[in-house]
Amino acid sequence: MKKYLPYIATIALLVTFSISANAQCKGFAKKLCKLELTGYVHDGNYHAAILTEGEEAELYKTFYSGQNYRLAVCGSDALPAIEFQVVDAYKNVLFDNKQHNTVGTWDFKLESSQQLKIIVKVPVAAQQTEFPNSGCVAIMFGFQDK
C-alpha cells in the first residue's frame, strides 16, 4: 500500500485542481457571460469548461417551439474568438458564427420543438506560442418571458 501512496496523492491533487478550475470557470460564466443574456431570462444552467486551443466540445439541449431564445458563447481573454455551430438532428447547420464575424450570441425561434447540438471550438491562434493557451469557455441559454 505504501508504494501506491505517491500515486494516490498525485491523483487526489489533480482532482482537487480540476474541481477548483471548474469552479473558477463557473464563476467566469456567472460573472461575465451571463451579461450576454440581457433582455432574456437565464435558464439557470452554467455550462462551462476549460478548453485549449484546437479543442472542441459539444452540448445537446432541447428547445421548444414558439419560444424566443438567445444562445451566448464566450471565452476568456487568453483565447482567440470562440467559434460555434448549432446543428439539428439531421446534421443541418442552423447557425455558424464564423459566417457572422464570430459573434458571441444567436437569437432564434424554432417552428418545432427539437434537440439541437451546439458545437464550440477554440481555434488555434494565428500567432503560435510554445504552449497553446487554455481558458474558460461558457455556453449559456436564455429565453424571453412572455
Query: CATH no. for residue 35?
Result: 2.60.120.380
Per-residue pLDDT reduced to its tens digit, 108-127:
999 999 999 999 999 997 77
CA pair distance 128, 135, nearest whole angstrom: 16
Amino acid 101 reads N
CB 137 within 8 A of CB 54: no
Domain hosting 138: range is 2-143
pLDDT band at 1 (very low <50, low <70, confident <90, very high): low
| Burial of residue 132, with CB atoms counted within 10 A of its CB: 0-12 exposed, 13-18 middle, 19 or more buried | middle
Work out whether the CA dihedral 72, 74, 80, 85 comes out positive or negative.
negative
pTM: 0.80
Instruction: With a cut of 90, say whether residue 12 has pLDDT above it.
Output: no
Return the ∠ at Cα 108 (arms to 38 and 82), rounded to 5°. Answer: 70
| 38-69: pLDDT as tens digits | 999 999 999 999 999 999 999 999 999 999 99
| Bigger pLDDT: 78 vs 84 | 84
The number of distinct structural domains making up the chain is 1
Give mean pLDDT, residues 88-101: 97
